[in-house]
Structure 1
Amino acid sequence: MSAQFIIEQLMHGVGYGLMLFLMAAGLTLVFGIMDTLNLSHGSLFMVGAYISSTVHQYMHSFVLAVAVAVIGTMLLAAVLERILFRRLYAADHLVQVVATVGVIFVADSLVMMIWGEAPLMASTPHALSGPLYLTEDWPYPSYRFVVLAAGLGVAGLLYVLVNHTRLGMLVRAGASNRQMAELMGLRVKRVFMVVFVLGAALAGLAGSLMAPISAVQVGMGEGIMIPAFAVIVIGGIGSMRGALIAALLVGVVEALGKILGPPTLKLWLSPAVVADVLPSLTSMLMFLLMIGVLMFKPRGLFPARG
């Protein structure tokens, strides 16, 4: 096992972690700040992936495809917030779960009607299809490097938005004491709609960026929701910093499982069995990490204050 292979897998893990952060950031905004449990958040991820893949296929511009996907998910989220989620803010979590599970079924059915049951194989942008040479004899996929850069850039922008802008101040005010904020003239409903749409934009962006490196298929949103929820639990509900650190931890831990798992398991199991069980075992590491964190930090690594 070479050092180059180990570093490549760790970089893949960081990239995956950053995509999880984009999902978890939207979840932690909606759940941690608005106290609304949105299980259908992954459906926005799926819609973003489908829109991006389709636009890229016909227009041959990946930047345009990502832009259309993000705008499309934002518009869809604005409609959903206005006709459904605005009525769920004051409901208990059981009602929110039932309603958003219904949204998942509707979204999956509509996607199946529009695009069919067969997965879409999104192509990598032509300009990013070749390798980027980290050293003279060390190629690394250009597209994965762009995913890394995009994830880090969005994380930085979110930090500035939440902590150093008027919108971030209004969001924190509405989350800490909604009734008092309304009495002081803050339009909490409008702020919450902006937060919901922002979370949808992050999910759509994550879906667009993941489309060329994963199969775009019905139900893909539900698959990424499990690690995304694990991320916000590990990081601390409502904490953007916690979501970022937890997402990177989950990505690196899964990468370490892929690095160390095969040579360790092959000591006792055949290569065919190892190939079958390795994905489940690497996913299990995420839950072991979550259990370990919650044993010592029941509210997560960086719980939100207030």
Structure 2
Amino acid sequence: MSIISVQLLTGLAYGMLYFMIAAGLTIILGVMNVVNLAHGTLFMLGTYIAFTFISQQYSFWVAMLLSVILTAILGIIIERLLIRRVYGKELEQVLLTFGLSFVIADSVKWFWGTEMQTIPVPAMLDFSISVGEMVFPAYRLFVVLIGCLLATLLWYLESKTRIGAVIRAGVDDRSMVGALGINVGLVFTGVFAFGAALAGLSGVLGGPLVGMYIGMDSEILVTSLIVVVVGGLGSWKGSFIGAIIIGLIETLGKVWFPSLSMLIVFLLMMIVLIIRPQGLFGREVA
């Protein structure tokens, strides 16, 4: 039983990591109607930026804060200079962000090299707790806690604040929001920066779990897109539930069916799309 408990906790930790990056992706998609295929490279960039600061003897927490700020600033630059030019043009958005992902990935390869690295677990969390006869790293529980806190924050922002009301209205009718005198362009910039910051945050937190290597951006992007599709486009609640499901299936699948774990994940996505095309928590389009 303790082995199963440890695997469930591991799946939950990875699920929270997937949620943090998928939440930013689905918020950008839901509010701005932009499919950002460069989101995975922002995750990778956040990891490498934090690694650089930690290598310069900064603490893990300072490195995480600086990484989140810098990825948010990069998100603002990308939205202002590039994304703003292709609003309402789905094909151009896909091509632009897909190409941008290659530019960022190659820049990471050029600046940091191709050798696999890892971010060390912060000292205060570098211990394990007992789960029956097994032990479980405290850092993974910390990742679960951060994911739950983020879900709570998103719920509060959505349901209890004015900016949440503006974002919900923007999802429903962007033109009406603009007609009410709200600066839609500023809202879009803020949303994109917030999504980029979440990608950077998840990259830093994921560093000690998954390591750092060239190609991690593509892997995390595919998983995030699956989470978004299963949970429902534009729904952070759907991303939360979908990420937990995907994290558990992927982790348990690697234990019981190592060669079929990703196949099971794709089968789940296919079943959801057949039964409920809008996702578990997505709204049906009339």
Specify whether residues 219 and 110 from structure 1 end up closer, same or farther in structure 2 by C-alpha distance, changes over 3 A only: same
The alignment partner of 1:172 has SS state of helix
Q: Which residue of 2 aligns with 1:110?
A: 107
CA distance in 2, matches of 1:254, 1:212: 18
CA distance in 1, matches of 2:235, 2:118: 35
Q: Which residue of 2 aligns with 1:123?
A: 120
Counterparts of residues 251-262 of structure 1 (less than 5 Å)? 251-261=247-257
CA distance in 1, matches of 2:60, 2:183: 37
Q: Which structure has the greater CA radius of gyration?
A: 1
Per-residue CA deviation, residues 234-291 of structure 1 (Å, 9 max, x unaligned), is 1111111111111111111112213322xxxxxxxxxxxxxxxx2x411111111111
The alignment partner of 2:136 has SS state of strand
Following superposition, the deviation at residue 305 of structure 1 comes to: 6.6
The alignment partner of 2:48 has SS state of helix
The TM-score with structure 2 as length reference comes to: 0.95
The gaps in structure 1 that reach 5 residues or longer are: 262-277
Could you say what the CA RMSD is over the residues aligned between the two structures, in angstroms?
A: 1.5
The alignment partner of 2:260 has SS state of helix
The alignment partner of 1:59 has SS state of coil
CA distance in 2, matches of 1:305, 1:158: 22
Is 1:234 matched with 2:230? yes
* Percent of aligned pairs with the same amino acid: 39
CA distance in 2, matches of 1:305, 1:175: 13
Partner AA of 1:133 in structure 2: S
The gaps in structure 2 that reach 5 residues or longer are: none
Q: Which residue of 2 aligns with 1:206?
A: 202
The TM-score with structure 1 as length reference comes to: 0.89
Q: Which residue of 2 aligns with 1:272?
A: none
Structure 1 residue ranges (4+ consecutive) displaced by more than 3 angstroms after TM superposition: none
Q: Which among 253, 256, 262 is matched to residue 283 of structure 1? A: 262
Following superposition, the deviation at residue 163 of structure 1 comes to: 2.2
Q: Which residue of 2 aligns with 1:11?
A: 9
Q: Which residue of 2 aligns with 1:296?
A: 275
Following superposition, the deviation at residue 304 of structure 1 comes to: 3.4
CA distance in 2, matches of 1:84, 1:298: 30
CA distance in 2, matches of 1:219, 1:168: 35
May I ask how many residue pairs the two structures share in their alignment? 285
Whether the aligned pair in 1 keeps the contact of 2:6 and 2:131 (CA below 8 Å) is no
Whether the aligned pair in 1 keeps the contact of 2:2 and 2:131 (CA below 8 Å) is no
Q: Which among 45, 48, 58 is matched to residue 47 of structure 1? A: 45
Per-residue CA deviation, residues 9-41 of structure 1 (Å, 9 max, x unaligned), is 111111111111111111111112211111001
The alignment partner of 2:135 has SS state of strand
Following superposition, the deviation at residue 296 of structure 1 comes to: 1.5
Whether the aligned pair in 2 keeps the contact of 1:171 and 1:192 (CA below 8 Å) is no
Q: Which residue of 2 aligns with 1:132?
A: 129
Is 1:187 matched with 2:168? no
Worse-matched range after superposition: 199-208 or 213-222: 213-222
